[in-house]
């Protein structure tokens, strides 16, 4: 029966003439294939370019599903070096930060201005790269609530990833405890051969978009980290040479300028940074400097002791002494848990640190003492024999500042798996090029193997036909 079907099918088809095949079909087909392949590759390249450009020029930051578990905000127990692929704050906003940090582990030859931030509620790491190198805790400050980084004349909003002009022309000195007012120093003047002077220190109100106070200085340079705003934002304390100058917003002229209403002598000491004002706003802390004999780092005997003075008459507030901070390059007060408990960041000297006198020409020195190897967050209690170390930066992270609200509340969270955000555009481009190169190499290899196999098969066929002939 099936032979009848075969016959019937042949009866249907046998009269069909062979298709007309153009002579040039071979060349035309191959040329068309080459053109289509080139067009497809071009279209793919254009799409990749458009996607890459869109990714690089997008308006907002990328919402990135974080690997880190979100918890109640707190200072992390561990800090890691952000790898090269870490997203920037502009690419993917981390949220309010717990820490802003820097150091050799964060920077490299290609990213010499790089700083890292880690979020308060999870281990979301992001990086910032201002136009000029800034030192975290000195020229780059974190607002008390951790929402803003103030660096290089810009305010980076860590919750949106956007940055705006800070509103004034000068370098940062301190956030007010409420975060609404910013103390800054006008750019210094230079008188040859080596005299620098800060014309004035301003207090900028972010709500009013204007200075509410400009304290004239003019006689000395005010380095970063040597100013503090009172808890109510109405008074300013600035270290000018060996004195703390105090000025009030209420005393300002209509143009905002005012002179100091009091000058407290430092006697070789320092104003300990943004947290110098006590919570009551009637006392200010200072540091006295001495030399230890049984120092943790014998080559660096510099010792700091915290004292508090009333602003009314400069008298020292009575009470048990705070513990000495021995072998400490610098001390920055973050804030106060009570009048007897202060939280501070303390610089730990490394082997290269040299204990220079306070009169050393600061104009030629870095803002953070050279040789600081790590930073400790410590709790200083009146009457305690030694400070309680709450946190210490790992090797390679030599600059640190923290969100004051978390440090003062003692909010600490266990560190988890770090999240470094979406890959940066250069990494996406590099991966695309790598994949395309690997694909092209693989295609070439497969093509080569096929051609070789075909040549061998041709050779066998020819050999077979020769032998049969």
Partner 1 sequence: MNEDRTRAGFAEFVRAENAASTRFAYLLTGDRQHAEDLVQVALARVAVRWERLDDPGAYLRRVLYTQAASWWRWRRARPPEQLDGFVPDRPAGPGDDVDLRMVLQAALARLTVRQRAVLVLRYYEDRTEAETAKLLGSRIGTVKSQTRHALGRLRSLAPELAEFVGRTPQEVTR
Name which of 214, 273, 208 is nearest 244 in CA terms: 273
Which CB sits closer to partner 1, 4 or 209? 4
Smallest distance from partner 1 to CB 160, Å: 51
Which CB sits closer to partner 1, 17 or 318? 17
Site string for partner 1, 172-201 (x = CB under 8 A): ------------------------------
Decide: helix, strand or coil at residue 345: strand
Smallest distance from partner 1 to CB 2, Å: 6
Per the structure block, which two tokens stand in for 219? 């006689």
Smallest distance from partner 1 to CB 19, Å: 4
CA distance 292 to 303: 6
Q: Is 426 in the site for partner 1 (CB under 8 A)?
A: no
Which CB sits closer to partner 1, 10 or 370? 10
Segment near partner 1 (CB under 8 A), from 13-21, 81-89, 332-340, 343-351?
Answer: 13-21
* Residue 332, C-beta contacts closer than 8 angstroms, at least 6 positions apart: 137, 225, 272, 273, 274, 275, 344, 345, 346, 401
Task: Report the residue from 20, 312, 385, 469 that binds partner 1 according to the rule CB under 8 A.
Answer: 20
**9: burial class by Cβ within 10 Å (0-12, 13-18, 19+)?**
exposed
> Strands (DSSP E) along 328-402, which ranges?
331-338, 341-349, 372-381, 388-392, 399-402
Residues 431-460, interacting with partner 1 (CB under 8 A): 447, 450-451, 453-454, 457-458
Task: Report the residue from 6, 267, 291, 437 that binds partner 1 according to the rule CB under 8 A.
Answer: 6
Q: Is 27 in the site for partner 1 (CB under 8 A)?
A: yes
Q: Is 58 in the site for partner 1 (CB under 8 A)?
A: no
Concatenated DSSP letters of 248-275 = EGGG--TTSEE--SEEEE-TT-B--GGG
Which CB sits closer to partner 1, 2 or 293? 2
Question: How many residues can be counted in the chain?
Answer: 469
Smallest distance from partner 1 to CB 435, Å: 23
| Count of residues that bind partner 1 according to CB under 8 A | 36
Smallest distance from partner 1 to CB 460, Å: 11
Q: Maximum CA pair distance of the chain? A: 123
Describe the crossing of helices 425-468 and 25-57 by its angle, rounded to 10 degrees.
Answer: 160
List interacting residues with partner 1 (CB under 8 A).
1-2, 4-22, 25-30, 32-33, 447, 450-451, 453-454, 457-458
């Amino acid at each position: 029966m099936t032979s009848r079907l075969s016959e019937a099918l042949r009866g249907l088809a046998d009269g069909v003439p062979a298709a007309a095949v153009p002579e040039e079909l071979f060349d035309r087909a191959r040329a068309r294939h080459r053109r289509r392949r080139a067009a497809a590759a071009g279209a793919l390249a254009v799409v990749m370019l458009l996607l890459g450009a869109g990714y690089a020029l997008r308006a907002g930051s990328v919402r990135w599903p974080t690997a880190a578990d979100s918890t109640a905000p707190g200072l992390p127990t561990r800090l890691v070096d952000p790898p090269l692929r870490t997203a920037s704050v502009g690419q993917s906003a981390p949220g309010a930060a717990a820490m802003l940090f820097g150091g050799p582990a964060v920077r490299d030859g290609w990213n010499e201005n790089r700083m890292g931030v880690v979020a308060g509620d999870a281990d979301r790491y992001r990086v910032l790269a201002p136009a000029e190198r800034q030192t975290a805790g000195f020229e780059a400050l974190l607002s008390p609530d951790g929402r803003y980084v103030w660096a290089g004349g810009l305010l980076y909003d860590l919750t949106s990833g956007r940055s705006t002009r800070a509103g004034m022309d000068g370098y940062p000195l301190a956030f007010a405890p409420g975060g609404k007012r910013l103390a800054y120093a006008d750019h210094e003047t230079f008188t040859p051969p080596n005299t620098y002077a800060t014309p004035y220190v301003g207090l900028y109100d972010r709500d009013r978009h204007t200075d509410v106070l400009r304290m004239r200085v003019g006689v000395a340079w005010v380095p970063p980290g040597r100013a503090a705003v009172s808890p109510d934002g109405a008074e300013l304390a600035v270290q000018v040479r060996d004195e703390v100058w105090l000025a009030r917003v209420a005393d300002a002229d209509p143009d905002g300028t005012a002179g100091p209403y009091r000058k407290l002598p430092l006697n070789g000491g320092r104003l300990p940074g943004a947290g110098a004002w006590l919570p009551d706003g009637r006392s200010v802390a200072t540091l006295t400097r001495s030399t230890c004999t049984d120092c943790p780092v014998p080559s660096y005997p510099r010792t700091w002791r915290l004292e508090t003075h009333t602003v009314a008459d400069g008298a020292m507030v009575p009470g048990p002494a705070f513990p000495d901070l021995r072998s400490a390059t610098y001390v920055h007060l973050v804030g106060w848990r009570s009048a007897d408990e202060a939280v501070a960041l303390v610089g730990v000297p490394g082997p290269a640190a040299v204990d220079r006198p306070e009169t050393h020409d600061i104009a030629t020195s870095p803002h953070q003492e050279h040789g600081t190897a790590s930073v400790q967050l410590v709790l200083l209690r009146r009457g305690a024999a030694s400070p309680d170390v709450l946190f210490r930066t790992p090797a390679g992270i030599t600059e640190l500042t923290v969100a004051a609200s978390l440090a003062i509340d003692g909010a600490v969270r266990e560190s988890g798996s770090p999240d470094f955000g979406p890959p940066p555009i250069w990494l996406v481009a590099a991966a695309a090029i790598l994949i395309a190169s690997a694909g092209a190499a693989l295609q070439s290899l497969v093509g080569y193997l096929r051609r070789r196999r075909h040549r061998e098969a041709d050779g066998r066929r020819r050999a077979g036909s020769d032998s049969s002939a």
